[in-house]
Amino acid sequence: MKNFLDAVRGNPKLTAGMLALLAVQGILQSRIDVIRKDPNIEPPSTRKSLGGLPFEYALGAVSGFRQVIAGLLWVRADSFFHSGNYDAILPLLRLITWLDPNWLDVYSTGAWHLMYNFTDTDQRSDRRYLPVGIALLNEGIEANSTVFDLYKEKGWNLFDKVKDYDESVKAYQQARDNDPAHDINMVEHLLAHATERSGNPEGAVKAWEAAMAAHKQRMDAAKGTPTEADAMSRNTQGLNNATKNRRMVSVRGYCRPRDIARLGQVDTNMSFKVTRVRPRVLRVEGTWNLVGCIKDQYDDLSFDDQGTPKAATISSGIVMDGPVDGARVDIRLQDAGYAIPSPKEFSFEVPDTLTIMQDAINSRGGKKTLRGSLCAINTGASTDPNQERAGVYSYKDDASAPKGVPIVKALAAGQLSPLGQLQLATLVFPPSTRKKKFYTQADVPGIISEIKADATKLKGLTDRKFYVALEDKLMPSEFGQKREIDMSKDPKMYSFKADAYDLILGFNPRIAPDFVQDRLGWNGEGMTDKRYLRTDIKPGLRMLSVKLKLTRDDIVGADTKVLFDDSKGIGLDKIQK
Amino acid sequence: MNTAIVIARNTISEALRKKVLNAFLMVGFAMLVLTFAFQQFAPRQELTLVKGMGLGIISMAALLITVILSINLVPTEIERRTIYTILSKPVRRHEFLLGKYFGAASTIFINVGLMGLAFVLAIVLKQRGADMGSSFNMFKGIWMIYCQMALLSAVAIFFSTFLSPLVNFFLTFSLFIVGNLSSFTLDLAKNTQNVLAKGFFTIVHYIVPNFGNFNYTNPLVQANVQVKSELALLTQNTIYAVVYATVLLIISILVFDRREV
């Protein structure tokens, strides 16, 4: 030290130069700090994140090897995924997102994994992980708030998995507003879809128009740049899709209220029964009238490319309606009073005493045959798409079918109603063969004459057992008749530790496919039900919903027992107001 | 100055004789393996992994080369007593020290440069020539790694003027880790209420060589991490490395000038 001080004293100029340079580096450091912090080049080394890491990872992180360690862990997580060891992935997700909070793929893949891949034996998602997945995305959004990717992921998960369209709309709006360079197809198109699903067709039209304007703006901006070809191709396709979708929402916005006014509300007349088949195995079955627009029988030809009616008075959309397959009845069994939490921070620990089961049961088999219209008798389900397009229902035998006469005889006797004639024309000469989307009554007489003169066609109809009904026949759609909800094989997921449970059965028209919404409306305006219609669950939404209060014994009890049957008045006291 | 250059050349030749470039061969091979190692991932993820790991491997290899090379430069000459022969000639002590440093810095430059070339070539091949801009952007990260290592080499040479290689090894590594805590020390200085602690962390932040400045992998690997003034940052980091290395070399010269050898 003495030698050093002597050297310092002996070299005053060099020492002064060194001190001056030391001051310069201090000034440089303060300037570098500003650039590195705005925005953060490295994730902020908060005590929380570093403190949460095991020592060796924290050491790696502070030594400048964050990405390497995060990458290695991600490779490990991937190998766990492929070997089916899903539980092992979750702690790795925690470590990786702490080490490299800017790695978007980890958040999006992690959230997908949490929300979709944890399932029971029958592939039902473990709903306890949904808030956890959303919390992970929220954490990612907080660390990457200026890019659209994770808002978009959140929007999609809320749309597709949670089916909370209002929240999905908010997430997509944030994606659009926080990142001017967002992908229009991924963000604004989905924003429009989510807006429509949230029961807001006017908002959806505006969202599509905004997307169209954004596509045009991107194309203008790309002119003369090296990326012009790519931008043009992508945005042209996007603009075409947005234009088509905007038109269809406009058409439906015009037609749906008019169709409902013209055809009247559908009385869904839902009835159901809940049976404990074995311990932890339930069967939820029932019937209801599920009516929609028959396949391809939707008239949008009277509207221009913007979806505006071409004349002051035009026919509305539905050409033919009737019972349809394709919508689902939602069943949810959960600890009594459970409400989805909104955790502030991602944690992969889910409460192991919590039980949530959610399923969606297909509804099918509804039939409607009116006097003078067509029906068929065959043992199998209808597989002929032309028969489906014509709204002709099949019955499995004579006993279940309406009384009728063979079609040749009915034709000769003039027993076909106008609907029956339309069905026959559609069935024998599908509209596409005449370059039409569907037939109107004006097209029918000529085609019927052709059919009458064609012996081969008539023989074919006779052989396929097509009849003309002499009476009306209505059969409701059924759900859950052959379906057991088995929760006995997954005790970790369905622990049934609580004393009381809510069994919620419902139908939300916002989730229903377009052809069902065409008849029932975006918000259930076209349906009513004397027992289970609820208008107080979400503002503006009319949905079918009923909540039963079950005890633990109701679910885990030994013998077969009917817990609820509204047709026989069993268990009505379990209904919660 | 010519004398320093001669010593620097000798230092490079000696390092090459010691097969330091073998590290480059190994890293080059690792790059080729890396390019095909993550094909099970989606393309974007794969590229993120290849880039992040690639820069990490280069950084790790460069760190080892730098420390092992630099801590031994002066002590080896003293141990072999060759320093007496050198200093008995018209070679001044500071020329000897500068020559050693420039030799080490050049050797590191050759190594990091070759590893970087192999890495960028691997990325170009991986992307089949597409998006050449982002591939060549990797050179920014490689340059930052070099600047970081050049500064670290100055630290190791400074310590080597008065410490044994073993102690130097641990001290250099420790200082590298502490110097990488730059954002952490800055946060601590800002967030603490204690005046003494605030002063301590501020001094640590501004006095200890700030190796964290050169960590530039994130903006190169994650497309969502954007730097507003990239050129200013890279330039200031380069000047920082030069200035701080100069400071360390001046102190080293002052220490070495009066040391008995």
pLDDT tens digit sequence for B149-195: 999 999 999 999 988 899 999 999 999 988 888 767 777 788 888 88
Angle, alpha carbons A362-A365-A368 (nearest 5°) = 135
Of A21, A33, A41, the CB nearest to B186: A33
- What is the pLDDT, as a whole number, of residue A383? 67
- What is the pLDDT, as a whole number, of residue A44? 64
pTM score of the predicted model: 0.85
A363 neighbors A477 (Cβ within 8 angstroms): yes
- The whole-angstrom distance between B30's CA and the closest CA on chain A is 14
- What is the pLDDT, as a whole number, of residue A378? 80
Q: Quote ipTM for the complex.
A: 0.86
Q: Do A67 and B53 touch (CB under 8 A)?
A: yes
Q: Do B215 and A41 touch (CB under 8 A)?
A: yes
For B103-139, give one letter per residue: b (16+ CB within 10 A) or e.
bbbbbbebbbebbbebbbebbbebeeeeeeeebebbe
B213 contacts in chain A (CB < 8 Å): 29, 32, 36
A57 vs A70, A79, A192, A401, CA distance in Å?
9, 20, 43, 71
A395 vs A381, A472, B33, CA distance in Å?
8, 14, 64
Q: Give the whole-angstrom CA distance, residue A37 versus residue B216.
A: 13
B59 contacts in chain A (CB < 8 Å): 64-65, 68
Q: Which of B51, B206, B242 to mutate to test the interface with A (most CBs of A within 10 A)?
A: B206
Q: Which residues contact A224 (CB under 8 A, 6 or more apart)?
A: none
Q: Do A67 and B225 touch (CB under 8 A)?
A: no
- What is the pLDDT, as a whole number, of residue A381? 56
- The residue of chain B with its CA nearest to that of A65 is B56
Q: Is A46 on the interface with B (CB under 8 A)?
A: yes
Which is nearest to A511 in space by CA: A474, A552, A541, A556? A541
Query: To which residue do tokens 């580096």 refer?
Result: A25
B253 contacts in chain A (CB < 8 Å): 14
Q: Which long-range contacts (CB under 8 A, 24 or more apart) does A112-115 make?
A: A112/A153, A112/A157, A113/A81, A113/A86, A113/A89, A114/A90, A114/A348, A115/A157, A115/A161
- What is the pLDDT, as a whole number, of residue B1? 64
Q: Do B213 and A32 touch (CB under 8 A)?
A: yes
Q: Which of A29, A141, A153 to mutate to test the interface with B (most CBs of B within 10 A)?
A: A29
A67 contacts in chain B (CB < 8 Å): 52-53, 55-56, 217-218, 221
Angle, alpha carbons A319-A324-A327 (nearest 5°) = 125
Name residue A500's beta-bridge partners: A551
Of A7, A31, A42, the CB nearest to B183: A42
- The whole-angstrom distance between B17's CA and the closest CA on chain A is 30
B245 contacts in chain A (CB < 8 Å): none
B38 contacts in chain A (CB < 8 Å): 75
- The residue of chain B with its CA nearest to that of A11 is B254
Instruction: For residue A83, give both structure tokens.
Output: 């070997």
- What is the pLDDT, as a whole number, of residue A47? 53
A248 vs A172, A206, A208, A301, A388, CA distance in Å?
21, 13, 11, 11, 23
- The residue of chain A with its CA nearest to that of B55 is A68
- The residue of chain A with its CA nearest to that of B47 is A71
- What is the pLDDT, as a whole number, of residue A41? 77
Q: Do A144 and B224 touch (CB under 8 A)?
A: yes
DSSP letters for B59-83: HHHHHHHHHHHHHHHHHHHHHTTHH
Q: Do A105 and B44 touch (CB under 8 A)?
A: yes
Q: Give the whole-angstrom CA distance, residue B21 versus residue B33.
A: 19
Say whether the peptide bond before residue A431 is cis (omega within 30 degrees of 0).
no
Q: Do A30 and B206 touch (CB under 8 A)?
A: yes
Q: Give the whole-angstrom CA distance, residue B11 versus residue B101.
A: 9
Q: Scan residues 117-146 of A and list those with Cβ closer than 8 Å to B.
A: 144, 146
Of B49, B59, B206, the CB nearest to A29: B206
Q: Which residues of chain A have pLDDT under 50?
A: none
Beta strand segments in A183-280, E: 266-267, 271-278
**A218: exposed, middle or buried (Cβ count in 10 Å: 0-12, 13-18, 19+):** middle
Q: Do B218 and A26 touch (CB under 8 A)?
A: no
Q: Would you give the DSSP letter of residue B160?
A: H
State the count of interchain CB pairs (< 8 A) between A and B.
Answer: 161
**A383: exposed, middle or buried (Cβ count in 10 Å: 0-12, 13-18, 19+):** exposed
Q: Which residues contact B174 (CB under 8 A, 6 or more apart)?
A: none
- The whole-angstrom distance between A12's CA and the closest CA on chain B is 11
B181 contacts in chain A (CB < 8 Å): 45, 62
- What phi and psi, each to the nearest 5 degrees, are found at residue A34? -65, -45
- What is the pLDDT, as a whole number, of residue A257? 95
Angle, alpha carbons A150-A151-A153 (nearest 5°) = 60
Angle, alpha carbons A130-A136-A139 (nearest 5°) = 140
pLDDT tens digit sequence for B10-32: 888 888 887 776 777 777 777 76
A291 neighbors A271 (Cβ within 8 angstroms): no
Q: Give the whole-angstrom CA distance, residue A195 versus residue A189.
A: 10
pLDDT tens digit sequence for B107-152: 999 999 998 998 999 889 888 877 788 889 999 999 999 999 999 9
pLDDT tens digit sequence for B217-258: 888 988 788 888 889 999 999 999 999 999 999 999 988 877
A298 vs A208, A320, A390, A425, CA distance in Å?
22, 8, 12, 17
Q: Is A102 on the interface with B (CB under 8 A)?
A: yes
Q: Is A23 on the interface with B (CB under 8 A)?
A: no
CA A263 to chain centre: 28
Nearest 10 degrees: CA dihedral of A525, A526, A532, A538? -20
Q: In angstroms, what is the C-alpha Rg of chain A?
A: 32
Residue percentage of chain B with pLDDT more than 70:
97
Q: Do A46 and B212 touch (CB under 8 A)?
A: no
- The whole-angstrom distance between B78's CA and the closest CA on chain A is 19
